[in-house]
Amino acid sequence: MNGHLTTLLRVLLAGAALTVSVLAQDQGAVSAQSALNTHAQQADAAFHAGYAAATNGDLLTAKRQFEIAVGLAPDVEEGHSALGAVLFQMGDYAHAITELERAVSLKPDDQSAQENLAISYSQTGNYQAALPLFDKLTSRIGQGDPPLSPDLLAAYARSYASAGQYALAAAKMQEAIAASPRDALFYDQLGSIYAQQQNWPQAEQAFEQALQIDPGLATAHLHLGVTFENEQQISSAIPELTTTAQMAPRNALAQLELGKAFAASGQDENAIPHLQQAIDLDPSLTEATNQLAMAFQRGGDTQKAIALFEKVVAAQPQNIAALTNLSLALVQTGKAKDAIAIGQRALAITPNDPAVHQNLGIAYMQQSDIDDAIREFRTGLSFASDSAQLHYNLGLAYKLKDDLPHAISELETAAKLDPASPDAPYTLGILYMQAGRFDESVANLRAALERRPENGDGWAVLGSVYRQQAKYDEAATALKKAIDLLPNQPGPHITLASILQEQGKKDEAAAERKKAADLTRVAVNRQRAEFNTNTANTLLQKGEVADAVTHYQDAISSDPSYAEAHRQLAIAYEREGRNADAAAERQKAAALGQTQP
């Protein structure tokens, strides 16, 4: 800050002359008082030593010398002004304010002290004290005082912005820019003022101007990236925020914003490392913890998400979004009781939030407490009657109570409110099938499959409904689609075999029954393999390696294609010292892992 240093030196030069003059007068008036004379000489020497140190850029020595001068001559304004100027230059604004307030009280017309005091107030967020001082300095310009420096104008603008007076803030910052048009920081600060108003186009323009002047200004890249985020221009935000992270890799906020941008673009795998780095750099950055938790939750790593959400709600007990997400994550891991406790905490904070009632209702459903679930869903709908998800959940709850009329009514409402969702029509299709209303079942199933054609189970159900309508060709077409999507499921083959048999296609029916039998055998063998592998894992943990090997081998005998059994057998062989056998099993597992779950 060259402007600040010039101001500091001007203060010291003025103070040096005045201090010498004051002390000389004291020496003449009290020539008989040797003790006071000594103090005066020491104060004068300390002041000049401080001036010399400040001139050489040694602010720490200057601070110590001016403190000595102030201690020896506490009623001399120049000492307080000089010490305040040094503290200001060192960024110790709180202590600078103390000294500068004393200087101004001793000498109200000390312009330099007032300028430094105004900026110090601004830097500490005390805009209520800063603004009157800036106003006073401005009013004196027409009385012979020079115009405010660009740094003062920028601080003036920041104070207006802190007070929420954004139009005045922008005007003052533009004055600073006019006085110093090549200062990239001023454009960056102007952009920040526009951003506080959510005036994103003008903010974007200001940040881009800052970067034209100084392409290496990391804060401008960060602010421009955040502006693009708020303008929903994520593809533009990511390059800016990536540049920021590269220029300032230790900046936790840069890592956070880049992680948020990746998450907003659906790239959680790229978001996670940046969010984790933000936390590593600043563990108190709760927003990064929350964002990371949501990324893990979306990716299905619910246990990690729960641990992080718990940290968020510990730091921010009133964070409804975090409490709601934590409740949902607990439901996803089958911890309905814990989810209910969290949901009730959220409800105590915001009893009118439909999302809280919805999540609490889901938790009750998981505990088979259907009446409480219905109560929560209905309460949620009293605050958000147009919520398709709440109507859908309420319909499912009524379905679980075998209250088909109410279930159908709620699901039909959900389907109307969210015509793009396949969930409500799919469930309606099943309910209508159960009620024997086959035409309505077909209409809803077909609507659901148009929206989600990869739903193999849906095609299988549609095939079954067509079969009950004796529409065998349509049924066969639907079932063949189900088979394509669910090649390992025997059910569609069995239904298709029945249709072919009824059509008199006995050979084709027999072929489908054989396929179904083969798939059933494979499924049973896989279940046996999984059971034996789980048993072997338990034995291996207990150190019973030989018994574990036997069960792994039984698993492989049941299903040689089960890669997990080969992987675990390799570990068991290694513990027995059979390294060659272990390597062979690991190779088999790797080969199977390319195609097997």
Residues 428, 408: contact at Cβ < 8 Å? yes
Q: What is the pLDDT of residues 395-412, one digit of tens each?
A: 999 999 999 999 999 999
pLDDT band for position 592 (cuts 50, 70, 90): confident
Q: How far apart are CA 15 and CA 7, in angstroms?
A: 12
The class level of CATH for 526-597 reads mainly alpha
Q: What are phi and psi of 586, to 5 degrees?
A: -65, -35
> What's the whole-number mean pLDDT along residues 123-145?
88
Cβ burial, residue 299 (10 Å; 0-12/13-18/19+): middle
Of 495, 486, 552, nearest in space to 523 by CA: 486
* pLDDT, averaged across the chain: 90
Structure tokens at 341: 């406790």
The CATH architecture one would assign to domain 317-385 is Alpha Horseshoe (1.25)
Q: How far apart are CA 164 and CA 158, in angstroms?
A: 10
The half-sphere exposure of 384 on its side-chain side, counting CA atoms within 13 A, is 18
- 526-597 shares the fold of 317-385: yes
pLDDT at position 264: 96
DSSP string, 236-275: HHHHHHHHHHHH-TT-HHHHHHHHHHHHHTT-HHHHHHHH
Per-position b or e across 502-541, b if 16+ CB within 10 A of its CB? eeebeebbeebbebbeebeeeeebbebbbebbebbbebbe
pLDDT at position 21: 38
- The domain spans of the chain are 317-385, 526-597
pLDDT band for position 43 (cuts 50, 70, 90): confident
Residues in the chain: 597
Residue % of the chain over a pLDDT of 70: 92
Is residue 496 scored above 50 in pLDDT?
A: yes
Residues 253, 278: contact at Cβ < 8 Å? yes
Is residue 577 scored above 80 in pLDDT?
A: yes
Tokens 């990391």: give the residue: 218
Is residue 35 scored above 70 in pLDDT?
A: no
pLDDT band for position 432 (cuts 50, 70, 90): very high
pLDDT band for position 12 (cuts 50, 70, 90): very low
Structure tokens at 236: 């533009």
Q: How far apart are CA 548 and CA 276, in angstroms?
A: 38
- What is the three-state SS of 493-526? HHHHHHHHHHCCCHHHHHHHHHHHHHHHHHHHHH
Q: How far apart are CA 581 and CA 532, in angstroms?
A: 20
> What's the whole-number mean pLDDT along residues 481-490?
93
> What's the whole-number mean pLDDT along residues 369-396?
97
Structure tokens at 76: 């001399």
Of 389, 392, 429, 386, nearest in space to 409 by CA: 392
pLDDT at position 24: 38
Q: In the 8-state DSSP scheme, what is residue 143?
A: G
What type of residue is 348?
A: A
3-class secondary-structure state, position 84? helix
Q: How far apart are CA 278 and CA 290, in angstroms?
A: 12
pLDDT at position 594: 56
pLDDT at position 34: 55
pLDDT at position 382: 97
> CA 352, 291, 190, 225 torsion: positive or negative?
negative
Q: What is the pLDDT of residues 218-254, one digit of tens each?
A: 999 999 999 999 999 999 999 999 999 999 999 999 9
